[in-house]
Structure 1
Amino acid sequence: MSALSRNSKRFVAATAVLGLLVVALYLAIPAAAKHYLNNYVLKDMGRYTGTVESVRVRLFKGAYQLNNLNIHLKEKSPQTPFYYSDSLDISVSWLALRHGELLVDAALNQPRLNLLDTRSNDNQQVGEGTNWLAVLEEILPTTLNQLDINNGTIHFANEETTPKVDIVLSDINATVSNLTNVKDQSGRRVANAELTAKLFSEVAIEAHAEFDPFQHDDFMFAAKTDPIALRQLNDFSQAYGNIDFKSGQIELYTEIEAEAGKMSGYIKPLMEDVNIASWQQDVISQGDNPFQLTWESLMGFLGLLFTNLETDKLATEIEIEGTLDDTRVSSWQAAWGIVKNAFVEAVESRFNEITPLTEDS
């Protein structure tokens, strides 16, 4: 046998062994990644613990996927998670790579966040007690460039009140982009966020934001809701404010701007056709006591008194000012806004356009 033939066979054998090693490594990576995440990242996160059911790796696409990510309080069952998502997709941002940067894009598919309010802080499920940023840094192999949220849900509940509170924000779709972009001509880094969602499966909510991802004290935010039927808020308003509604609707507008930690903005609630006290609803159906009925009747009378006769709206505009560490919202200013809307100048159902985000709204 010639030397050339022997060298050819050795080359084929070495190539075959190398190929087998690559295949073995490719098959081993998902199991190794799952073991690492479950035992070193998600197992002990302060008050929370979690698991991922499986990991799928696509080396040639520079992507991997965490399936059935479940995070819950250590004292609670995984069947009542704080957070759950069908999958978390993480992939190399090819657009950034073409510009010489190694960044990743992430997508949360059908994420569900369950917030639970209780009398005992030990049983509250609101995310406190864990450094979530540190957890995120362990899951992501490099810097995040863009985050997409697809068909998400936020569920807020309190099972200890009477009545029980159960509010769902669904159909959450959001994109947060340019998280690692370079500075613009003014020296600012500007990331963008767009969000749409539905409250009670039907009320549309929109939110927009621009912010510097490296400076948390520099941002602009604007949001609005379509009219919300007040009766849909009865469980919440009765549990936390001892008021329930027979009819009416409310819509909200807000804009907030912060620069170098100094914050300004407003929240504008507008209510229409508000009817609080109802004999049938409050006394016969719910069995309210006379003091409760008197309180609701007084609130209903004041609402009628301060409703603008031309717009038929009870409204105010609450200014927000101060710093991120010391934000001031004046209750007297809110009360004056109600009086002003009723007798001086009606509050309009639109943005005030104090930020560029709402100039075309």
Structure 2
Amino acid sequence: MPHIKRAARILLFCALGLLLLRAALPVALQSYVNRTLDRAEDYDGRVGNVDLSLLAGSYSIENIEIVKSNGLVQQPLFSTQQLRFSLLWSALLGGTIVGEVDLTQPVLNFVDSTAEEERQSGAGEPWLNIANDLFPLRIDHLQIRDGRVVFLNSNASPPIDVSLQDINLIALNIANSRDLAKELTTLVSATANTTGSGNLAFDVSLTPNTQLPTFDINLEASDIGLTDFENLLNYYAPFDLEAGELDLALEMASDAGELTGYMRPVLHNIDVFSWKGDVEEDGDGLFRNLAELFTGAITEIFENQASNQFATEVEFSGTLDEPDIDTFAAIAAILRNAFVDALEARIDNSINLEAD
């Protein structure tokens, strides 16, 4: 009997120890995540509740925010309603330790400003090292649900606030370190909507273990209303677009930094110059009005009248640092669109790494 009582006490102490450990782990994990996020020089991290499931091999973190530490930028660089990390048991049973990450409503805020301290891009910070410490396993599956990427500039008048929204993304075989993936290709597929009514879809494959960038991108965008980006274009572009929609097809591949690809922009119902908008309301200067009027006239001359569109195809090659653009081919494409066949903003799958 004594040995039975002793065994019962040991089991009781073990059970209490496990309960205490289970209660302490979320707090310890929350502290660890906060310290890891704070390793960025100009940014601080904040996280909410942490929920840990030992049996499922998963944890979730609510209300993550990464904010600029000087307090001069109101919007966080990154925020997400919930981040969930879990082990992939099917792979674990096969002898491979990999994980899955699920992000709910993540938001990236990029901010431009006339003052350097009020800008926000996240550039120059060790984000890959931080991600490697938070998720030290190979990520087999990453999913983003209802994400947004926002660009803001409050110095513009009126202020600029444009975004990619409703981002739904799936990425497979992500490795933070070359030690975790020797010959794997990361695959990314995503859809999104632009400010207004535009739609965007892209597929990317990239090889993480090459010294120079190696990737293949296919992108299509449609029905992007240019007036939805009026403030952005007025502030950063040398002309006003009073009306029009943009369709775009892009194929681009880089084999260890050697670039090849094309971009096919198609502008519908384009209107660069509006007398009421430019002269009466905007009060643009004489030379700017003349430049916009000339641009509008050129666009009208080389527009495909049947389709009411102005389009070209820009081919490029060379390297990522110094791309070469085929100007003559772009001019020929303008003429072909205007007087032969209207171009379509559709990828033709002619650019890929295997073909280079």
TM-score by length of 2: 0.90
CA–CA separation in structure 1 for the residues paired with 2:128 and 2:8: 48
Deviations 1:9-68 (A, max 9, x none): 111111111000000000001111112222x31223022221112221111100011211
Indicate yes or no: 2:320 matched with 1:324.
yes
Of the structure 1 ranges 16-25 and 313-322, higher mean CA displacement relative to structure 2 is found in 313-322
Indicate yes or no: 2:343 matched with 1:347.
yes
Residues 261-276 of structure 1 aligned to structure 2 (within 5 Å): 261-276=257-272
Match of 2:16 in 1: 20
Indicate yes or no: 2:284 matched with 1:288.
yes
Q: 1:355 to 1:98 in 2, by over 3 A?
A: farther
Q: 1:110 to 1:252 in 2, by over 3 A?
A: same
Match of 1:64 in 2: 59
Match of 2:178 in 1: none
1:164/1:239 contact within 8 Å kept: no
Aligned AA (2:264): K
2:219/2:347 contact within 8 Å kept: no
Q: Which runs of 5+ in 1 are unaligned?
A: 181-186
Aligned AA (2:30): K
Match of 1:314 in 2: 310
1:254/1:265 contact within 8 Å kept: yes
Indicate yes or no: 2:139 matched with 1:144.
yes
Q: Which runs of 5+ in 2 are unaligned?
A: 176-181
1:118/1:160 contact within 8 Å kept: yes
* Number of aligned residue pairs: 346
CA–CA separation in structure 1 for the residues paired with 2:305 and 2:169: 39
Indicate yes or no: 2:79 matched with 1:95.
no
**Deviation, structure 1 residue 335:** 4.3
Indicate yes or no: 2:96 matched with 1:110.
no
1:234/1:243 contact within 8 Å kept: no
Indicate yes or no: 2:10 matched with 1:54.
no
Tell me which of 119, 122, 127 is aligned to 1:124.
Answer: 119
Match of 1:297 in 2: 293
Of the structure 1 ranges 72-81 and 306-315, higher mean CA displacement relative to structure 2 is found in 72-81
CA–CA separation in structure 2 for the residues paired with 1:59 and 1:89: 13
Q: 1:209 to 1:73 in 2, by over 3 A?
A: same
1:231/1:244 contact within 8 Å kept: no
Q: 1:188 to 1:346 in 2, by over 3 A?
A: farther
CA–CA separation in structure 1 for the residues paired with 2:93 and 2:134: 24
CA–CA separation in structure 2 for the residues paired with 1:324 and 1:300: 32
Match of 1:184 in 2: none
CA–CA separation in structure 1 for the residues paired with 2:206 and 2:137: 21
Aligned AA (2:279): V
Match of 1:135 in 2: 130
Q: CA RMSD in A?
A: 2.2
Aligned AA (1:152): G
Tell me which of 200, 207, 215 is aligned to 2:195.
Answer: 200
2:144/2:169 contact within 8 Å kept: yes
Match of 1:158 in 2: 153
Aligned AA (2:289): L
Q: 1:265 to 1:356 in 2, by over 3 A?
A: closer
Q: 1:219 to 1:230 in 2, by over 3 A?
A: same
Aligned AA (2:194): L
Q: 1:21 to 1:114 in 2, by over 3 A?
A: same
Aligned AA (2:298): L
Identity %: 28
2:66/2:78 contact within 8 Å kept: yes
Tell me which of 227, 231, 250 is aligned to 1:254.
Answer: 250
Aligned AA (2:334): I
1:71/1:78 contact within 8 Å kept: no
Q: 1:124 to 1:336 in 2, by over 3 A?
A: farther
Aligned AA (1:108): L
